[in-house]
Structure 1
Amino acid sequence: MADTFISRTFDVPTGNRETVHDLTSTCTAFLDEVARGRSGLLNVFTPHATAGLAVIETGAGSDDDLLTALGHLLPSDDRWRHRHGSPGHGRDHVLPAIVPPHATLPVVDGALQLGTWQSVTLVDTNRDNPERTVRLSFLG
């Protein structure tokens, strides 16, 4: 049975444009502080109806490719029934069904176990909210 549960929130400025924000260094710093060499699970959660979390490659164009793919799947136009906010905002409320607002990742001996090119990212297509909250929870 796990004997440690530590949870903390932090804010992420996302501005007024679609973004894929890399959270990996924040996750690593959190684990360096709280895991202290223990193994367990890191849960990453964003409590928003219009944002999600993805484990993807960043910096080589994949983050922009993800936003392009989401633009094709969820166009920002007037087809959506959910109509408050900026035009096409209804698609932002569908995003978490495709890019979920949570990710649970393995931690071994205090280290996040990501693949070579994997990063933990916040995906935000909602231009109406310039700041997001993310909760990190370590169970180990």
Structure 2
Amino acid sequence: MSLFSSEVFTLATGRTERVVDITERCRRFLYDNDAYNGLLNVFVPHATMGVAVLETGAGSDDDLLAALGAILPKDDRWIHRHGSPGHGRDHVLPAFIAPHATLPVLDGGLELGTWQSVTIVDTNVDNPDRQVRLSYLG
């Protein structure tokens, strides 16, 4: 027998580039849905966001934003030109940081490494409110 549950929640990312840790929200979703062994999929239905598993709180999240700024400069080089200046690069972001991640759930817990967190990466300052879909299959 398999179990499937899914929910969408709104995440306020504000008007600055951000890496937002949603690990606890993922754990709460798994607990609320009696997840035991299976897979958690995190998906953002936006053309300008990504989902990343990385260390947070020790500077890695700021390092990621700095690296994205170096790889994808916020300037007028982009053909895609609507929105704030340099917004075209936000539409390229999902090619570097996918808009989804699938993670193992074992014995009711999210199977992450010691320093790993589930994060949303949002460089789009034009849209302060975002949607995140969590789906569990077990």
**Do they superpose with TM above 0.5?**
yes
SS of 2:92 mapped into structure 1: helix
| Contact map agreement 1:35 1:138 (CA 8 A) in 2 | no
Residue 121 of structure 1 corresponds to: 119
Shift of 1:119: 0.2
SS at 1:87 equivalent:
coil
Find the partner of 2:48 among 47, 50, 60: 50
Report percent identity of matched pairs: 67
Task: Provide TM-score, normalisation by structure 2.
Answer: 0.98
Shift of 1:35: 3.0
The answer as to whether partners of 1:20 and 1:63 remain within 8 angstroms in 2 is yes
Q: Tell me if structure 2 keeps the 8 A contact 1:53–1:99.
A: yes
Alignment of structure 1 residues 1-140 onto 2, 5 Å: 3-36=2-35, 38-140=36-138
**C-alpha RMSD over aligned residues:** 0.7
Tell me the SS of whatever aligns to 1:123: strand
Structure 2 CA distance, aligned partners of 1:35 and 1:127?
36
Q: How many residues align?
A: 138
Q: Do the aligned partners of 1:6 and 1:137 also contact (CA within 8 Å) in 2?
A: yes
| In structure 2, C-alpha distance between the alignment counterparts of 1:106 and 1:3, rounded to whole Å | 15
Q: Quote how far apart the aligned CAs of 1:94 are.
A: 0.1
Gaps of 5+ in 1: none
One-letter code aligned to 2:48: T
Distance 2:85 2:55 in 1: 30
1:65-88 CA distance string (max 9 Å, x none): 000000000000000000000000
Give 1:100's aligned amino acid: A
Instruction: Give unpaired runs (5+ residues) of structure 2.
Output: none
